[in-house]
Homo-oligomer: A and B are copies of this chain.
Amino acid sequence: MSKVTFQIEGGNPVVTECNVGDNLLELARRSNVAIDAPCSGNGSCGKCKVKLLEGELESVKSRHISQEEYDAGWRLSCNSKVRSDCTVFVPDIASAYQSRMKTADLSSPDEIAIFEDCQNHLRQSGIHFVNRFRAVTVTMNEPTLDDTMPDNERLSRALEERLGVRQVRIPFCVMAKLAATLRAYDFTVCVKGELMEDSFRCMEITGPEDTAIVGCAIDIGTTTVTMVLTDLTSGKLLAKGSSGNGQIRYGADVINRIIEQSRPGGQKKLQDAVIKETLSPIIANLCRHAGVSARSILRLSVGANTTMNHLFVGVDAQSVRMEPYIPSFFSWEGLLAGDLKLPANPLAPVIIAPNIGSYVGGDITAGTLASGIWDKDEMSLFIDLGTNGELVFGNRDFLMSCACSAGPAFEGGDISSGMRATDGAVEACTIDKETMEPVLTVIGEAGQRVVGICGSGIIDLISELFRCGIINAKGLFVREGKRIRRDAHGMGRYVLAWPEESETGREVSLNEVDIDNFIRAKGAIFSAIDILLHSVDMTVDVIDKVYVAGGIGSGINMKNAVNIGMFPDVELSKFHYIGNSSLSGAYAMVVSDDAAAKTDEIAANMTYLELSTYPGYMDSFVAACFLPHTDARLFPHSVQEKETGI
């Protein structure tokens, strides 16, 4: 047995025991030490770097660790085996994906504006923001020797009279506390529940003061989870929060997670990671923040991709991944919060925004609802940049959708210094063409040092490197200078922050592999747009609006995104950033019965285009893997300024 001490940056040390020869990443997982492994521990992503302080590890040398770093003790935990008692340092960056929970201030004008916009657009489209959940306060006669009706009948009669229903259903969880609650509040109580056609289904009984009924809308992204609590009576937002998806340590992409789920105990492990570790603490936190009890959450809605939906529900997702790619469900009624042990009323229905294919999920149908494109005459393109990219094109008459494997680059995955759009991330930058010196915009308080770079920052950086002629159309470095470094193999990189400037003491840079990864990601998006239009015999000229959604950040610079050939070269005024449309859609669905029904309708009428088998897709993709494109005529506004010499 060996004793391993994890010294966690900014946290308490964790001491654990293991056998000599045990894998360090596996040990960390077992010991609840958060170390990101987006590639699921196969050595390809390089995110799981830790620093050996004492003792001995047997590690495979990796291209992600330079000689200086290796000499200083840096190792990839995924390819290290424990050889003796040892102490390892786990830097903050190693768990950057699993960032700490945030409860955003609702007074943030951005957040409110997005939700109000969504609501207003949907109202204009005829969606009523009402639902069938009710909190009803009733007073009953106290029983006497001459009036010995049992408690449940007494309550039923009172509710029948009050609500004009024929039947009242009292489930176990209400019955269990009925006698005590009626007597504690002298037979004046508040009953919360769901009004059906001619019956009322009780879900909770409380004192007359507690009349809150709450909806919880959740966006489960592959990388990030975000949710809001809302008052089901008024539709008012009560609280909002987000955190990294705890499943990230089992892989950054859906494929690696499905593989992890197939291992023994995997279904529970993946489900626990998202429900117990991620959602439950946020819900508890938001309830506290809003001053409501979890049992007053009477409905939840979820916008998530097909795989996330399966992992969330704890249903085998293997068949999503394997030919012929058959999910267990697209849409499914009848799921309850109690089935998943979510901290909410156990009888609360969990509405899952319907999936329409293995790779176009409920996040897209909810997002399509929120975008409003289903009710417009004009032709709209809806692009959701998440861990993958999904697209919807159409108008009130038709909707086409497809998914492309863009990978996690937009959220900082597959990029050596990449990170999510949280504190310390470079979210925007410009480069001086002459000096090649950057000007960085970093998320966080004034004085925040750089930790890494997020999606919108990478778009800016590549666009600027290309504009300044520092990289060529293939993404290779063609200029030299102080900021341009090369390794022993000649691979170039651009240094954004020197070790002494950065938060972590390590250099923050973008190298040719990163750029190549990103070009493939943006190429996937553009070629998907190209094929989607092609499939309906259209070209980019027909596009009236482009709605861009996703966690890439509100800082996304559309001009730069067009400049690198990621988005089609249409008028910039046609682009609209609509934030987290999956969450906006889920919010509408939880508050409005109409919106939930409309989402089902959208899903039922949306056509799914399978790109991988579409003739010409690969050609289109390869052509798009240049800056901006092999066919530069497609991007008349893309700029590569003439080099002015050193």
Contact = CB atoms under 8 A, between A and B. Distances in A.
Interface of A: 143-145, 147-153, 169-173, 175-176, 178-180, 183, 313-316, 318-319, 323-330, 332-336, 339-340, 355, 357
A170 B315 contact: no
A17 B573 CA distance: 79
A172 B326 contact: no
A148 B326 contact: yes
Contacts of A180: 316
A150, A173, A313, A335: residue with the most chain B Cβ atoms closer than 10 Å:
A150
Contacts of A145: 323-325
A144, A178, A326, A332: residue with the most chain B Cβ atoms closer than 10 Å:
A326
Nearest to A271: B176
Contacts of A332: 152, 170, 175
Nearest to A145: B324
A178 B315 contact: yes
Contact of A329 (B152, B173, B329): B152
Nearest to A358: B148
Contacts of A319: 151, 179, 183
Nearest to A332: B152
Given A144-B324, A319-B151, A330-B150, A339 B179 contact: no
Given A145-B324, A323-B145, A179 B334 contact: no
Given A143-B324, A179-B316, A334 B148 contact: no
- Indicate how many identical chains form the complex: 2
Contacts of A355: 150
Contacts of A340: 172
A324 B148 contact: yes
A165 to B, nearest CB: 15
A172 B328 contact: no
A337 to B, nearest CB: 11
Contacts of A336: 172
Given A332-B170, A339-B172, A143 B326 contact: yes
Given A145-B323, A316-B179, A335 B150 contact: no
A382 to B, nearest CB: 23
9 contacts: A145-B324, A148-B324, A148-B326, A175-B332, A176-B314, A178-B328, A179-B315, A179-B318, A179-B319
Contacts of A325: 145, 148
Nearest to A151: B328
Contacts of A330: 150, 152-153
A172 B315 CA distance: 9
Closest 5 CB pairs of A and B: A172-B339, A179-B316, A152-B329, A143-B326, A145-B324
Contacts of A150: 326-330, 355
Given A151-B329, A152-B328, A334 B172 contact: yes
Contacts of A316: 179-180
A329 to B, nearest CB: 4
Contacts of A169: 333-334
Contacts of A176: 313-315
A175 B328 contact: yes
Given A148-B326, A152-B328, A176-B313, 9 more contacts: A148-B357, A150-B328, A150-B329, A152-B330, A153-B329, A170-B332, A172-B313, A179-B318, A183-B319
Contacts of A357: 148
A53 to B, nearest CB: 44
Contacts of A175: 313, 315, 328-329, 332, 335
B328 A179 contact: yes
A152 B331 CA distance: 9
A318 B177 CA distance: 12
Contacts of A335: 172, 175
Contacts of A151: 319, 326-329
A550 B170 CA distance: 32
A169 B316 CA distance: 19
A520 to B, nearest CB: 26
